[in-house]
Amino acid sequence: MKLNQSTRLAIWSIVELASRPGEQVPVNEIAQIYGISQHHLAKVLRTPSRAGIVGSTRGPGGGCEFTGNANRLTLYDIVQLFEGDREEEETPEVPSTPVAAEVARVLMEIDRITTATLKSVTLQTIIRNAERKEERRKEASRKTAPAGETDMADGVEPASEKA
Amino acid sequence: MQAGVQASHNQITIDDVCLADIPQIIEIDSEITKIAKPELWYSYYAPAGRSQPRWFLVAHEDARVVGYILGEVRAWEFGSPPCGWIFAIGVSPDQRIGGIGTRLLDAMIERFRPTGVKTIRTMLHIDENVLMSFFRSQGLAAGPFIQLEASIDL
């Protein structure tokens, strides 16, 4: 799906913040994770900040914090902040031929699926699904790794070494 | 962006459906869909003539039914290898956001698992935002099949 660059950056950073509840995350840290300009990201984050879903604190130890409800906020809500309400977009005038009407119907079909998808995905769903995939990946590496190497693969000391 | 209200629950148990549960299931479904379908629900209860494994589970809070789920393993329809279909799931509107739907789905997956299926699947109306959000929160996403339809007078 084609989204404005600002919308895409906002989705990345808001989900990142929502995955770290209660944490003040420096903008430069998010910019580094996603390989984007800190200056541009700071500008992008002004919009969700005005909407009350991102808060920021200046000074040492300061940063940005997610202040919305991750269980309720959907991708649609973020897209809407940057690109307006897709459902209220005016349908462009099309020539009144059967072919033009059929093209318009197909484009509306695509829009309807896109909107339904964006509205059904909450930030918490993205975070939870990412965690699930990570757990599965670790589980799979535990099953395939030779005995004794499994815990190290997850960055955890083997129990025998701890003792 | 609505505020969710956490329902408080007494002990919830997930059980196989019994005949006495059906009227309460009809009531919950009718509250959600605004259409009462007693014949449908009694037909789901009747196991006669079924060749595919099917499960009909209910969530009970004491003797009260607060949710239900209906699932079946179906094979090779539309060219799909065996998969676990969720045909219906519903939670009483006053009992939502308390994990009952998750427990029902988990219980159904545990019924599916011994059959060897690796995929669960469901179909829902595109405007069913709440239900679609629920399934997505459980890890379901658009799959390789797409539903198409047309008026019969095409």
pLDDT one-digit tens code per residue, B11-54:
899 999 999 999 999 999 999 999 999 999 999 888 666 667 88
In three-state secondary structure terms, B95 is helix
Q: What domain range is B51 assigned to?
A: 12-137
Q: Give residue B48's pLDDT.
A: 60
**How is chain A split into domains, by residue range?**
5-144
* Residue range A5-144, CATH number: 1.10.10.10
- Assess B139–A contact: CB distance below 8 Å, yes or no: yes
| pLDDT of A88 above 90 | no
CATH number at residue B106: 3.40.630.30
Higher pLDDT residue, B104 or A57?
B104
Which range, of A87-96, B33-42, B91-100, averages the lowest pLDDT? Answer: A87-96
- Assess A121–B contact: CB distance below 8 Å, yes or no: yes
Q: Give residue B4's pLDDT.
A: 40
Q: Cβ separation of B3 and A72 shorter than 8 Å?
A: yes
Which range, of A138-147, A149-158, B50-59, B88-97, averages the lowest pLDDT? Answer: A149-158
Q: Cβ separation of A71 and B4 shorter than 8 Å?
A: yes
B56 assigned to some structural domain: yes
> CB under 8 Å, gap of 24 or more: what pairs does B13-17 form?
B13/B59, B13/B60, B14/B57, B14/B58, B14/B59, B14/B60, B14/B103, B14/B104, B14/B107, B15/B57, B15/B58, B15/B60, B16/B55, B16/B56, B16/B57, B16/B58, B17/B45, B17/B56, B17/B57, B17/B58, B17/B68
Split into its structural domains, chain B has a count of 1
Q: Cβ separation of B137 and A117 shorter than 8 Å?
A: no
B148 assigned to some structural domain: no
